[in-house]
Amino acid sequence: MNKYVLKEGHSEIIINKSRFIGLIKNVESEEEALSLIAAVKKEYWDARHNCYAYIISGEQEIKRFSDDGEPQGTAGKPILDVLERQNIKNAVIIVTRYFGGVLLGTGGLVRAYGSCSIEAVNNADVCEEKEGTIITIEADYTASGKIQYALRQVGGVEIGTEYADKVKMIMCVEKEFEKKFLETLTEITKGNIKDSQMEKVKFTINNGEFIRL
């Protein structure tokens, strides 16, 4: 299951006097990723290296990484490996290094850039993508309570409710529970769900809040 960054994460580690500063952030395009990389390079203009990797999802997934002067394969690829192992999409990780005068060797560099990236991910707010359906329906007041109960039984989320002559309910149910919920909904409304609206969606739930991805 794909994961996405809701809130950026930062990290900082010191290894043999070298200072590594990590950042992971959501980006929606390669242009946005490159703009962020340029901004970090400007902020840390006096650093020896600003290494990075990013993955942008789409019809053709984009993956890029840079060692930025470090020995080939010791920085950008370990950063990319962190994104790939955790299946994080639409994100860039940038690791800045202030050289401390002590050579770390190829193995030491791989571990340093990988560790700094992992810590940045751990300090970020990362969510798991879900597939589901947004269902909008109008029901009478008696049925609305039963619908809310049925929604909770399948782990669905109520996005919004409007009260007028009838109750307009906007809900989201995960793909695997959709069939069961619709059967229950049909039973509760005695088959009167023909006017309901349904929309396939990718989403996540963060602190009980529905977020469309």
For the entire predicted model, the pTM comes to 0.80
Of 97, 127, 157, the residue at which a domain comes to its end is 127
Residue 193 has pLDDT above 70, yes or no: no
Residue 1 has pLDDT above 90, yes or no: no
Summarised one tens digit per residue, pLDDT across range 10-38 is 999 999 999 999 999 999 999 999 999 99
Residue 213 has pLDDT above 90, yes or no: no
Q: Which domain holds residue 83?
A: 3-127
| Whether residue 22 is found in the same domain as residue 78 | yes
| Whether residue 123 is found in the same domain as residue 22 | yes
Residue 69 has pLDDT above 70, yes or no: yes
Tell me what the mean pLDDT of segment 66-70 comes to. 96
pLDDT of residue 18: 96
| Whether residue 48 is found in the same domain as residue 119 | yes
Tell me what the mean pLDDT of segment 165-174 comes to. 91
Summarised one tens digit per residue, pLDDT across range 78-130 is 999 999 999 999 999 999 999 998 899 999 999 999 999 999 999 999 998 89
**Strand duo 197-206 + 9-15: pairing:** unpaired
Residue 65 has pLDDT above 70, yes or no: yes
pLDDT of residue 194: 55
Q: In total, how many domains does the chain have?
A: 2
Nearest-5° Cα angle at 56, 50 to 61: 125
CATH number, residue 115: 3.30.230.30
Mean pLDDT for all residues in the chain: 92
Helices within the chain (DSSP H only): 30-43, 76-85, 105-122, 141-153, 175-188
Tell me what the mean pLDDT of segment 4-10 comes to. 95
Q: What is the share, in percent, of the chain residues with pLDDT greater than 90?
A: 73
Of 90, 111, 127, the residue at which a domain comes to its end is 127
How many CA within 13 A on the CB side of residue 86? 27
| Whether residue 165 is found in the same domain as residue 152 | yes
pLDDT of residue 24: 98
